[in-house]
Structure formats: structure tokens, C-alpha cells
Structure 1
Amino acid sequence: MQTLGIIGTNWITGQFVDAARESGSFTLTAVYSRTMEKADQFKTKYHAPEATSYTDLAGFMNASEFETVYIASPNSLHFEQAKQAILAGKNVIVEKPAFSNPTEMAAMQTLLKQHPDQFLFEAARHIHEANFKIVQQAINELPTINGATLSYMKYSSRYDAVLAGEEPNIFSPHFSGGALQDLGVYVVYDAVSWFGVPDSVDYQAELLPTGVDGKGVATLRYPTFNVTLIFGKTVDSYLTSEIYGGQTTIVIDNAGTIGKVERYSEGGQKIASLGEPSLANPMIAEAENFATMIANHDTKRYHELLQLSESVNQVLYQLRQSAGIIFAAD
């Protein structure tokens, strides 16, 4: 079992720590937080009383207690913290979106080439799950591809603060926030993984007073079909997602968290239920995969994931440009 340090003490960090423990992939040995109280509370809650607490980031990065750091800080902080970790000799798992723009991504790629023994993973957890791969296989079996509609909308508890005139991090351009970055990244990962990098993109965004998007509809154009992405954080949606292939349609219950995958034939007849039961913790598969790649020094699969991350980063940036959304990091 490999040693793990974490930055960020929110629910998503806790979910990853639980997944790491349940899968036997990582053991938590160091926690960084802005306050000692929050760090200690996190260790108690997630059954790691022996882990060391840090409030000094430099001291945390240079600590010997851990080999890999999981970063779940606000989006705008990812680049500098990942850079510090690589320079300190750590492997990095950084929550999606990994970086704010292609400039940061290119700088990180250069740094990684200078440190070839270290790994940096973007934690797009759903692409590691069994049902994601089942969808990919079903697409490969289609006689043709005529396009897709992929949807993921979920009301954010932080949107109430926006309605009250505030600017929470997740809805702030200063922290590289917005619906595209938070939930849109899931469906962009879907599209780029399943169909490749689009020829062009367009994003019709509904902008908030904070300067970022609350929800919107994006179009990814490919040579012979289009993919429509619907995502947002200001409403709840129960739309399914669909992939079209002639008289066959693949139906997915949720493009961000795939629980059911079904295939329909001409006339709406369901001909197969393809999905597997989802794990209680959706991060188990990615924790296992990251730990295995590090342990086996699997650079082939690692570089495939890094290239995918770079492609997704580029598409996210092009979509933001289309909608006129500018971050402080730009």
C-alpha cells in the first residue's frame, strides 16, 4: 500500500480517502489544511489518527511521510500546487479540471518531461469505471455514429450564495469556476474519450453575475456528426443521455455517473441492458488504477491518460473562449 498526502478537506477528498483505503491502494499519512483544527478533524473522521497534520504548504510538500499527493483545492490553485509537488519529488493526483488553461497544461507537460519518474493524474474518476468502458464497447459495435446528446445537470448548494449576491469559489472566475469546469468536464471527457477531439466547438452559456456560467449547451462538431453537451449547476435535470447509430440507440442514465447502459433497436425495443451495478464508492476504480500504474511504472497507459487530459483541457478552453468566459488564471 502506497502512502498518500492530501490537500483539501472537503467531501470529495474524504470520498477518495475512503476509496483508497477500501481498495487497499493508498494509506493516508499526511493532511494539509489552512487550519490545524480542520486537518485534525479530517484525520479523525476518516480513521487516520496517525497521519501528520500540516498548515505550512512548503513543509507539507517536502515531508517524507508520503509518496503521492491528492489535490482537491479550488481549481485555480491546482497548477502551482501540482508544480510544487512535482518539484518535491511527489506523484500527483489532481482533481478535475486539472488546470485552468492550455498555458498551464503546457508548462506542466514540460515539467513532467524533466521529471520522468513521477506521475501526474487528472482524477476524472468516471472514465475508470466499468460502465464507462461498456459504453465505449457498445459504441465500437455501432454500424455508424450519427451523433450524441450527453447531459449532466445538478443544482449546487453554493448557487444560493450567488443568488444572495455572493461569489463562492465554485462560481468565481478568480478560482476558475463555473458549470463547464465543474460538471461540463464530465461530458467533455465522455465525448473526447468516445469520439475523439472535435473539429470545432460552440458554447451557448447562461452567464451569472459573477462572470462564469451557471449552465449551458455546447456543440462539438465532428466530420460527419455533432455531439450536444447539456450541463449546469443552477437546476436539477433527469434527462438521459443518448448515442445514435442508425437504427440503434445507446441510452445512459447519467453521463457523469453512469449507472445504467441500455441499447435500443428500431421501434424503441430494448434489446440489451449492458451496464453493471455501480460500486458504492465511485472512486475505487481510479484509486486502484493510479496505484497500479505507479507501482508497475506503467508509462504506456499513463501517457495515454495524460494525452487525454491535455485534449480535454484544450476543448474546455475553446468552449470558454466561445462563450467569452475569462479566468484570472488566463
Structure 2
Amino acid sequence: MLTLGVVGTNWITQQFVEAAAASEEYQLTSTYSRHEDTGQAFADKNGGQVFTDFDQFLRDGNAQVIYIASPNSLHAKQALAAINADKQVIVEKPLVSNPQEFAQIKAALAAHPDVRLFEAARQIHQPNFRAIRKQIAAMETLNGAMLTYMKYSSRYDDVLAGKDPNVFTTTYSGGALQDLGVYVVYDAVAWFGKPNRVHYYATPIRTGADGKGVAVFGYDNFDVTLNFGKTTNSYLPSEVYGLKDTIVMDNAAELNSVIYHAADGSTKKLSEEPDDNPMLAEVRDFAEVINNPKDPDNARHYQTWFHLSEIVNGVLYDLRRKASLVFPADSQD
């Protein structure tokens, strides 16, 4: 069983820890939190030691695998430290803030060839995601897609009250694109490839971050429109368009229901019942690679995921540049 240390104590860390336990592949041994009280509350619920010093956490936390779910701007520094400590690393999306930080990650991994690093883009590991990709490959003609993931964030209440929560600040590499937009960017890149051109029409909020926005990806023969945000709710389905056939999904990130509408008017259900915990598929995939890294299939899967992460990181950066969204983390560019 893999020993696990986690960074951060918010709801997504709780969901990850529960998925790790359900997989029976991991045992939580330690938690790092900047605040001792929140760290202890998390440990009281889930077990393990609590650390407020990151270096001590890596050194004494008795963890083979480190899961990082801190504010986005901290991902690169913490992931690099974990790699240099020869830990296996899982980083919540978005992996890092820009391509220069990604290049630093690649260099560190090259110096530590036994370390594997994963971006926790959960939906790409789910069976329903793969079912969509398979159906897209079978479609004779592609005419584009409309992918939507727009969900009101409780943290936006804080923004309206005059506060600056991390997820809505450029200081911490936050905003709608980095939080919910990354899901639909992953969808588009995994299903259709790297776009030839991108545009991003962002709606800024008081903090300077983007609250919602519309991105357009240009391909050789079609465009893909991405609609995402954290300042309102959308109930629109997402669609992939063929000629007379269409794939309809309830939500471009959750993918709980996926229906294929064929050209002859018939329909076929592509989705299967999702896991109770949407992170279960990814934690199992990560454990399989960590436990058997030299297996040819595992090595191929890992390289595919890592390459996809690199493309997504570059596309997110290009989108931000189109919208003139600059993070302090970009100052090293």
C-alpha cells in the first residue's frame, strides 16, 4: 500500500483522500497545512500527522506519494521540492501557472527518473470520457463542439463582500479559466488535439481575475467553443457535432450522462453509471503506474497523460495572453 501525504485541507483534498481510501491503494500518513488548527481538524477526521513546515513534512511525513492541492501559484515550488525529495507527486489542476514553470518541472523529473508526476485532471481517467473519445474517432465528419462548465462559486460571495479569496485572485494564479475552464480545455485538447489558434473573451471581476469567459479553439475544418465561469450557473448541455450526428453530454466536466444521436435519428447511451467519488478512477490509475512504472502499458499511459498536461498548460497560457490576464508567477517568463 502506498503511503500518502497531502498538501491542503479544503474540500477537494477531502474528496481525494476519500477516493484514495476507497481504492485500497493508499494510506494517509501526513498532512501539510499553513495553519495548524485547520491541519489538525483534517487529521482528526482522516488520521495521520500534521505539519506546518513543508520541508519537515517531506522529510518526516513518511509518505511515498504527495498530493498537492494548495493555491495554484504554490504548485510549482511545492511540486519541485517533492520531486527533489524523490516523492511521487500528484498535483491538482492546473498543474502550474505557465510554460516556464512546466519546463522547471520537466528538468527536475529528468534529474529524478524514478519519480512520476501526475496532474489530477480527473475526468480524463473516467470511462465516460473514453467513451466520448471513441465515438468521436468513429464519426465520419466533425463540425465542432460547444463545451460548457459554469458553476457559481460560494467564494464569489466573498468577492461581492469586498474580500479577495485565493481562487479569485491573480496573486494566486486564480480565476475562472484556471479553475473550471481547465476541465473543458482538457476535453477539447484530448478529443480534438492542440488547436491551431485560440481566442479568449474574458469577463473580469473586481479582483482583476476572470469571473467567466468564452474561449474559441480553431482547428483545420471546425471551431470548438468553450463556455465556463464561476460567477453564475449554466444548465446547458455540451455537444460534439458531426454532420447529422451529435454527442450530447449533461456536463462537459462531470460527464454523468452521454447520449449519441445518430444520423438516422436513433440514439445510443454511451455513458455508464459513474463512481460515487469522481476521483476514484484517477487514483487507481496513478497507483497502477506508481506500483508498476516499467510495465509497457503503464509507461505509455503515463507519457500520454504528461504530454497532454504540457499541451494544456501551454494552451491555458496562450488563452490568458489573448485576454491580457497576467499572474505574478509570470514575472519569471
**Cα distance in 1, alignment partners of residues 3 and 93 from structure 2:** 21
SS across alignment from 1:329: helix
From 247, 251, 260, the counterpart of 1:250: 247
1:229 aligns with 2:226: yes
1:205 positional shift:
0.6
Unpaired stretches in structure 1, ≥5 consecutive residues: none
Root mean square deviation, CA, Å: 1.0
Q: CA deviation at 1:160?
A: 1.2
**In the alignment, what sits opposite 1:280?**
276
Once the two structures are superposed, what CA deviation does each residue of 1:15-54 show, in whole Å capped at 9, x if it has no partner? Answer: 00000000112110111112332222112222x2xx1211
In 2, Cα distance between equivalents of 1:62 and 1:85: 10
Residues in 2 aligned to 1:318 and 1:308: alpha-carbon distance in whole angstroms: 15
Q: Which amino acid aligns with 1:218?
A: A
Number of matched pairs: 326
Q: 1:292 aligned to 266, 288, 291, which one?
A: 288
Q: What residue number does 2:88 align with?
A: 91
Q: Comparing 59-68 with 186-195, which one deviates more in the overlay? A: 59-68
- For the 8 Å contact 2:200–2:319, the answer to whether it is kept is yes
2:111 aligned with 1:127, yes or no? no
Q: Structure 2 CA distance, aligned partners of 1:111 and 1:197?
A: 25
2:51 equivalent among 51, 54, 58: 54
Q: Deviations over 1:140-168 (max 9, x none)?
A: 11111110000000000011111122211
The equivalent of 2:309 in structure 1 is: 309
TM-score (norm 2): 0.96
- Equivalent residue, structure 2, for 1:3: 3
SS in 2 for 1:165: coil
Q: Which runs of 4+ in 1 moved over 4 A?
A: none
Q: State the AA in 1 paired with 2:280.
A: I
Tell me how far apart the structure 1 counterparts of residues 129 and 174 of structure 2 sit (CA, whole Å).
26
Partner of 1:313: helix, strand, or coil?
Answer: helix
Measure, in 2, the Cα distance between the counterparts of 1:27 and 1:74. 24
Q: Is the 8 A contact 1:174 1:328 kept in 2?
A: yes
Q: Which 10-residue stretch deviates more, 301-310 or 35-44?
A: 35-44
Provide the C-alpha distance between the structure 2 equivalents of 1:177 and 1:273, rounded to a whole number of angstroms: 36
Unaligned runs of 5+ in 2: none
Which residue identity is paired with 1:5? Answer: G
Distance 1:307 1:113 in 2: 14
Does 2:162 match 1:137? no
Inter-partner Cα distance in structure 2 for 1:260 and 1:270: 17
Distance 2:101 2:225 in 1: 27
Distance in 1 separating the partners of 2:4 and 2:319? 34
Q: Is the 8 A contact 1:71 1:94 kept in 2?
A: yes
156-165 vs 277-286, which moves further: 156-165
Partner AA of 2:20 in structure 1: A
Q: Whole-Å Cα distance in 2 between the matches of residues 86 and 328 of structure 1?
A: 23
Q: What SS does the corresponding residue of 1:5 show, helix, strand or coil?
A: strand
Q: Is the 8 A contact 1:262 1:270 kept in 2?
A: no
Q: 1:210 aligns with which of 204, 207, 212?
A: 207
Report how far residue 233 of structure 1 moved.
0.2
2:222 partner letter: F
Q: Distance in 2 between matches of 1:36 and 1:320?
A: 35
Q: Deviations over 1:108-155 (max 9, x none)?
A: 111111111001100001110110001011111111111000000000
Alignment of 1:28 onto 2:28: yes
Q: Which whole-Å CA distance do the structure 1 matches of 2:266 and 2:30 have between them?
A: 49
